[in-house]
Amino acid sequence: MKLTVVYDNAVQKSGLRADHGFSCLIEAPDTPKILFDTGADGSILLHNMKKLDIEPKDIGIVIISHPHHDHTGGLTDIMAANRDAEFYLPHSFRGRLSARRTTKINQPCEIRPGIFTTGVLRGKEQSLVINTGRGLLVVVGCSHPGVGNILDAAARFGQVYGIIGGLHGFRQFDRLNPLSLICPCHCTQYKSKIKRLFLDRCLPCGAGLILEL
Ligand SMILES: [Zn+2]
Ligand SMILES: [Zn+2]
């Protein structure tokens, strides 16, 4: 599978724009392209997608982790560019969508073979869990339910290999010990501390980063 960071507070590829928010594209075999979160600003999202050669029309599934503007800001623009995608929204999502197919998520479930949602944890946020050749990759928006709770919820689907996304104020760093890949993005407050502690397996995040697992 391949994961491309489309929107982040930092940027790794020239020509892309950095902004407070998060979005990434997941391409897995035999699965429609998945856009996880949409950043804060639709024009920045579409700009970065264009620079990364990602065609909005090719996206089959859009998943929103939680209804904060830095994750839902690009929704309207994506919907305008692609009326056929399927939208998976957290149960707490309010507001009307013009999309044809929307599913509200509350409980953990398998969205596509090998692609799971943790369900909305603590009424706040869902995370995506992807079965890769090396184990599970957990993709998080802001980790508001707590990274430890998210990792516990993901573990029901198998062995967790790594985590990518916003870790917010998370500081129970020993919870990351079993992981082989740690990519703190977006709102992570202790990025430099995590980098120092896990030098051998911490990957700096930024728009343009591509992970292939
Ligand atoms: Zn956020
Ligand atoms: Zn948030």
What pLDDT sits at residue 135? 97
Sign for the CA dihedral angle at 123, 177, 188, 159 comes to negative
Helix (H) or strand (E) holding 176: none
Model pTM score: 0.97
Q: Is 197 helix (H, G, I), strand (E, B) or coil?
A: helix
What pLDDT sits at residue 83? 87
Residue found by looking up tokens 């993901």 in the block: 154
Tell me how far the alpha carbon of residue 166 lies from the centroid of ligand 1, in angstroms: 7
What pLDDT sits at residue 92? 86
What pLDDT sits at residue 96? 74
What pLDDT sits at residue 185? 98
Q: Phi first, then psi: what are they for 126, rounded to 5°?
A: -105, 150
Tell me how far the alpha carbon of residue 127 lies from the centroid of ligand 2, in angstroms: 12
C-alpha span between 93 and 100 (Å, rounded)? 16
C-alpha span between 193 and 184 (Å, rounded)? 11
Tell me how far the alpha carbon of residue 64 lies from the centroid of ligand 1, in angstroms: 11
Q: Phi first, then psi: what are they for 56, rounded to 5°?
A: -50, -35
Per-residue pLDDT of the chain (213 residues; tens, 9 = 90+): 999 999 999 999 999 999 999 999 999 999 999 999 999 999 999 999 999 999 999 999 999 999 999 999 999 999 999 989 999 999 989 877 777 789 999 999 999 999 999 999 999 999 999 999 899 999 999 999 999 999 999 999 999 999 999 999 999 999 999 999 999 999 999 999 999 999 999 999 999 999 999
Q: How many residues does the chain have?
A: 213
Tell me how far the alpha carbon of residue 84 lies from the centroid of ligand 1, in angstroms: 26
What pLDDT sits at residue 177? 97
C-alpha span between 42 and 60 (Å, rounded)? 18
Q: State the burial class of residue 14 (Cβ atoms within 10 Å of its Cβ: 0-12, 13-18, 19+).
A: exposed
What pLDDT sits at residue 10? 98
Q: Phi first, then psi: what are they for 88, rounded to 5°?
A: -110, 110
Tell me how far the alpha carbon of residue 72 lies from the centroid of ligand 2, in angstroms: 10
Residue found by looking up tokens 């599934």 in the block: 61
Q: What is the token pair recorded at 90?
A: 């957290």
Closest listed ligand to the CA of 165 = 1
